A and B are shown apart, each in its own frame.
Chain A
Amino acid sequence: MKQKPLLEVRDLSKYFPISSPFQLSRHKVMNKAVNGVSFTLQEGETLGLVGESGCGKSTVGRTILKLYPPTSGEIIFENEDITHHSSRQMKPLRKKMQIIFQDPYSSLNPRHTVGEIIGAPFRIFGTEKGKTVKSLVQELMERVGLNPEHFNRYPHEFSGGQRQRIGIARALATRPKFIVCDEPVSALDVSIQAQVINLLDDLKRDFGLSYIFIAHNLSVVQHISDRVAVMYLGKIVELAPTTELYTNSHHPYTRALLSAIPIPDPVLERSREQIVLSGDLPSPSNPPQGCVFSSRCWKAQAQCFSEEPQLLKIGKSEVACHFPE
């Protein structure tokens, strides 16, 4: 019997108005950052969300957490439709859904000590009986690999990787069910990235977490995710189990993306065939008619320019393409 998903997103859209002081027309120009995205997240699963700048992946993550009010569509968390929940209604749910941000240098308040940062959720939601905030904070610090003696220090006294651990500890404080990781390792040195990814893996096992892992580094996503969704210009173009995606992708964009990842092996890297995309990303306020990828696709035909492809099942993957590979 199939388990009910932890999170279900149906046809989610988020548009941002592009304001212009001289705009007199009633037709507001909209940045269609997320344009009809649907997927599910099972409990204990890591869903990777990849794409390049402007694809909308970060916006999806934040909209799911209601950090942005959705423009249309539905968000269903643990069988509850939270799409139109007010902030008061969202408050008890916020314990169960958390976020880790990309930039460890700007996402921590420089005037708060580490103890205050990690302890903030306890002050909002209360602590377990008999335990002090300090002891809980120190427990968490140890769990993420920080020295618990340092809880009185300020963020600037830590390195980038350590600051990211602080962010992770804060997200874990309320024992959430799922965490949106918004590019958690992109700003870190390569040698530290591996440490943080391993930590996230361990925590997932120990705390029974589910992740939505947003990144532009496909190699990192492949390592940590169970399923991966590839986004382009606000839409999901392919959604598949990880191994399936990396060995047998169907959408031309996925192929191009995978082919663009440089392989750290000079012999392989210089001898392989690379698909190099031409042209530039279209403006998100004016996406192409029909398939969003049509303007840069080498296989595009008449149908692609007029009819938008739906996400259809092909084997274990879901692909939105009229002529999948």
Chain B
Amino acid sequence: MIALAILLAVSFAVYVIFSFLPFDPAALTCGKNCNNPAIIEANRVRLGYDKPFWEQYLIFISGLFLGRTYGEGAALIVCPAPSLGYSFQEHACVTSSIAEALPVTISLAVGALVCWLLLGVSLGILAARFRGRIADVGSTFFVLIGTSLPTFLTGLLLLVFVVIKWRLLPYPSGSYTPLTENPLEWLNTMILPWITLAFAYAALYTRFVRNAVLETLSEDFIRTARGKGLSEKVILRKHTLRAALAPLVTMAGLDFAGLLGGAILTEAVFNLPGLGRLSLGAVRDFDLPIIVATTILAAAIVVLMNLIVDIIYAFIDPRVRVR
């Protein structure tokens, strides 16, 4: 209920902001260096930019459910539902542009999530378990480097060494091969971007997991578990992890949502045609419909992830469940 209201509010806010920007959206439709007023006027009418902004907003919302048509006759453009607008730069309905870019971003985000969770959680547990000793100190170094290196630098370093110097992987071609088509090629394309993203996030998560585990280990119920004669391994795995996991789920969910909106820098370095590159290009070229659409999409993803995280949290922590 509330989630829906937030979505509506965000989409409205985005629309208002973009409506009051100091340039003419119709003029943008025919490219940067266009000065043919006739085309601009025609496009203005076709795209509905001549109408008041709240009417534009309503048309936009209805387009999500019913699809949208622009112009008529020879200049007719139909964007089937869910329509997010039409981009003149791309010469395509925004929805299809996004649909093309989405699988890339999803592969990137999911793969990175898996990598950084595996790495971060295991290192974090090791650091907590062997607190003060080599594993812990080593993890601190890792955390420091991981959080200090910006993703584009990590990406570039990986490119320079792995691809160029050592020739272990082919140079990123700028195209994307879906998993279903050719798994090996998909892997080759995605592995370096995954490592780049995972490196930064894993560092953060190592620290977080370490602290969460250490804090949980000092709780009374862990003392009870020890008193029962359970082995340290069981205590760590079953009792500690479950307790430390709850806040982790919230964090991971939100970070994942952020990535789904487009990992701009990483996609740029590795030339991946994902949402990040789409948005970046749209900003550069003033492609308004795409900018609006990707912003709203990113917001929608965050709202959705929040909901999912809340549900998962209720599974983990029985105190949160309603009865």
Chain A 14-56 residues near chain B, CB threshold 8 A:
20-22
**Nearest CB in chain A: distance from B111 CB, A:** 34
Minimum Cβ distance to chain B for residue A168 (Å): 31
Could you tell me the distance in whole angstroms from the C-beta of B33 to the nearest C-beta in chain A?
54
User: In the assembled complex, which residues on chain A have CB atoms less than 8 Å from the CB atom of B322?
Assistant: 20-22
B47 vs chain A, min Cβ distance (A): 42
Q: Which residues of B contact A20 (CB under 8 A)?
A: 322
0/1 interface trace, chain B 311-322, chain A, CB 8 Å (1 if under) = 000000000001
Residue in A closest to B322 when the chains form the complex, CB atoms:
A22
Total CB contacts across the A-B interface at under 8 A: 3
Q: Which of B294-323 contact A (CB under 8 A)?
A: 322
- A interface, how many residues as a size bin? under 10
**Closest Cβ neighbor of A21 among chain B residues:** B322
Per-position binary interface string of chain B over residues 78-121, scored 1 when its CB falls under 8 Å from any chain A CB and 0 otherwise: 00000000000000000000000000000000000000000000
Write the chain B residue with the least CB distance to A20: B322
Bound complex: CA of A21 vs CA of B322, how far in Å? 8
CA distance A21 to B3 in the complex (A): 14
Chain B residues with Cβ below 8 Å from A21 are: 322
Once bound together, how far apart are the Cα atoms of A22 and B311, in whole Å? 13
Q: How far is the CB of A76 from chain B (nearest CB, A)?
A: 41
Closest chain-A Cβ to B314's Cβ sits at a distance in Å of 11
Provide the bound-state CA to CA distance between A20 and B322, in Å.
8
- A20 and B321 CA atoms in complex are apart in Å by 10
Closest to A23 in B: B322
* Closest chain B CB from A29 CB (angstroms): 12
How far, in Å, is A53 (CB) from chain B's closest CB? 18
Minimal beta-carbon separation of B307 from chain A (angstroms): 13
In angstroms, Cα B322 to Cα A22, docked, is 7
Given the complex of chains A and B, what is the CA–CA distance between A193 and B322 in angstroms?
Answer: 42
Q: Chain A nearest CB: distance from B149 CB in Å?
A: 36
Over the window 171-201 of chain A, the binary record of Cβ atoms lying under 8 Å from chain B Cβ atoms (1 yes, 0 no) is: 0000000000000000000000000000000
List 3 contacting pairs A-B, 8 Å CB cutoff, sorted by A.
Answer: A20-B322, A21-B322, A22-B322
Interface residues of A (CB under 8 A from B): 20-22
Nearest 3 Cβ contacts at the A-B interface: A22-B322, A20-B322, A21-B322
